[in-house]
Amino acid sequence: MEGKSGRSALLVTLVLFLAGLCSQPAAAFYLPGLAPVTFCEPEKTSENCKENIQLFVNRLDSVESVLPYEYDAFDFCKDKNEEWASENLGQVLFGERIKSSPYKFIFKTPVTCKSVCSKTYKQEDKESLNFLKKGIELYYQHHWILDNMPVTWCYDTDNGRKFCSPGFPIGCFVTSDFRKKELCAIFEDFKKANTYYLFNHVDITITYHSGLGENWEGARLVTAKLEPKSYRHTLNNINCEGPPMEIPDKFVGNLDVVYTYSVIFQENNTIKWASRWDYILESMPQTNIQWFSIMNSLVIVLFLSGMVAMIMLRTLHKDIARYNQLDSSEDAQEEFGWKLVHGDVFRSPKKGMLLAVFLGQGTQIFIMALITLFQACLGFLSPANRGALMTCAVVLWVLLGTPAGYVSARMYKAFGGDKWKSNVLLTAFLCPGIIFAHFFIMNIILWAKGSSAAIPFGTLVAILAMWFGISVPLTFLGAYFGFKQAPVEHPVRTNQIPRQIPRQSLFTQPIPGILMGGILPFGCIFIQLFFILNSIWSHQMYYMFGFLFLVFIILLITCSEATILLCYFHLCAEDYHWWWRSFLTSGFTAVYLFVYAVHYFFSKLQITGIASTILYFGYTMIMVLMFFLFTVHARILNFKTQKKNRKQQMRIFVSNTYLLTDLVTF
């Protein structure tokens, strides 16, 4: 399986790269695994039209636990000829485990209350039954797949809308004080205290497009919906009526569980095969909220743009005009504010090597995110192409070691550093090593808990091989070109003796400035962040990549403008230590992200257990670190001048200071 995962990852990446180069769409182009399949009645089957419909099962997950489990972990019915679906790298990293199930159908052949299998639990099987009851109590959900689309469970919400979920629960629980949890509240028969109710029956409705008016042979499936139910069958009497399937908290003797299903087929030629996911996505009321978020972010951008324009066009323009009119050396000495630090503004910062390393890693993550989001906007990384988003991101990160090494080496050389070996090694290993070590520790927890999210050892070796065999050499190659170039010539000469910085007010001190700098960028993304966290931890489907890309651009502009403003303010306060402060101004947005993640954990989630809590905050810290590098990426424009006259140097400094502090985020 791991070998197939690696080959699939390379195949998906190659297709994504070639598709990105193609500017004109092709009518007959389909991504791997997304080509349509046609079905026919048994007497009309052919090589291109089949009658058998195979249902696949995926991992089970819960909103109350971070630990997903494989389908077999809960002792459900297994396929006698079990087959594993080919999984790409992204699916393995997300813990998806797709395999065949015993639920097999024949096209347009309805079935009523058919037995799939039966399970008998004795006293010695108490551990397996307790695990099943624990899964019911934590509201674990099935995830079934039919013709590469989720089998959905649609129900009415409190506001009268219909919501279609790609998963359905394995059961529900009535507490000892007769409080019905989750679905038990809608069933009148589920009323016994301290009792678990198992959904051992499903009514499946498969809708198909007959091909009428189309140019294909046979029919194509467009929706697959189900309704979970509970019936207490006996081994000798399979009857989908009567009392529900109860699992008492304590049982004596044997307990028989029979799993059944019913399936019907419906024709609907109004639903096109290309838009068969729309009913799932349209049931999620996110669009209006997304537009509100965009408008809120645009207001912030316009506000910051106005302030930057006011400073650049009024203050700096007047200063330049006044310097052009100065003739006497006495007048030239009348300087104030940021003009007094022109001889120290390009002084190398403390811990310059670490700053250069962060800049290199930020460049790598920025380009990775930009290309990945662009591919997602084109539709190549849609939810139908499972795991493609993570696969694309990982492979792109591996292939982008060259720009990371180049930017890091170039900046470190601009700082006057000469320990090039340490710079290259830190660029290649520091941040990736922290993330991998963190990830490996959490993977040990997943292994100990038997979770399907545990990465197989072979996949970990493959990731290490990609890191050491591809990313590290490319980083060294980029660093070679970075150090090979001529040193950066700053437009203003740096004084030999550092200027003394005057006492700073509260608002121009480093910590208050950094705290204020991260608020506005976070205000642009926090609504979008809510939907992203929902898709990760509440297992909701995320598909609004167009909105996400727009927020990406808005965040880019907001962080840049906020950094320029604060950099201008503390330069006016005669504080020339702008390198790290400009770096951390937008980077502090990651701290607000962490605070919001903590708020989301306690207010929106119902996660229980020490292991799940550790995993949640562990994964959150990885996201925070990557977002920190994501937002502090800086692009420093280099300017060369042959002017040695002090007035000319000052003029260049005035006009280019904010280009040189072009701390564009990501």
Rounded Cα distance between 310 and 312, Å, is 6
Structure tokens at 535: 């898709």
Helices marked H in 538-609: 545-572, 579-587, 589-603
At 222, the pLDDT band (50, 70, 90 cuts) reads: very high
Rounded Cα distance between 78 and 103, Å, is 9
Q: What is the pLDDT of residue 20?
A: 39
Inter-axis angle of helices 579-587 and 610-631, nearest 10: 130
pLDDT at residue 331 tops 80: no
Structure tokens at 262: 């019913």
Once rounded to an integer, what is the mean pLDDT over residues 264-279? 88
Segment 93-152, tens digit of pLDDT: 888 888 999 999 999 999 999 999 999 888 888 888 889 999 998 899 999 999 988 999
Once rounded to an integer, what is the mean pLDDT over residues 284-302? 68
Q: What is the pLDDT of residue 106?
A: 93
Q: What is the pLDDT of residue 314?
A: 67
Under a CB-based contact definition with an 8 Å cutoff, are residues 478 and 401 in contact? yes
Q: Kindly write down the DSSP assignment for every residue of 616-658, as one continuous string.
A: HHHHHHHHHHHHHHHH----PPP-------HHHHHHHHHHHHH
Q: What is the pLDDT of residue 480?
A: 93
DSSP letter at 455 equals: P
Q: What is the pLDDT of residue 335?
A: 56
| Angle subtended at Cα 435 by Cα 526 and Cα 474, rounded to the nearest 5 degrees | 110
Segment 587-643, tens digit of pLDDT: 889 999 999 999 999 888 888 889 889 999 999 999 999 999 888 653 332 323 333
Structure tokens at 323: 């310097």
Q: What is the pLDDT of residue 284?
A: 65
Segment 20-72, tens digit of pLDDT: 333 333 333 344 446 788 999 988 888 888 999 999 999 999 988 889 999 98
**Of all residues in the chain, what percent are helix, strand and coil, respectively (each to 5)?**
50, 15, 35
pLDDT at residue 166 tops 60: yes
Q: How many CA atoms lie within 13 A of 448 on its CB side?
A: 9
pLDDT at residue 445 tops 70: yes
Which value, in Å, is the radius of gyration of the alpha carbons in the chain?
A: 30
For the chain, how long is the longest CA-to-CA vector? 109
Segment 184-218, tens digit of pLDDT: 888 778 888 888 999 999 999 999 998 887 888 88
pLDDT at residue 332 tops 70: no
Once rounded to an integer, what is the mean pLDDT over residues 1-7? 38
Structure-token match 């190398």, residue found: 348
Q: Give CA 282 to chain center in angstroms.
A: 21
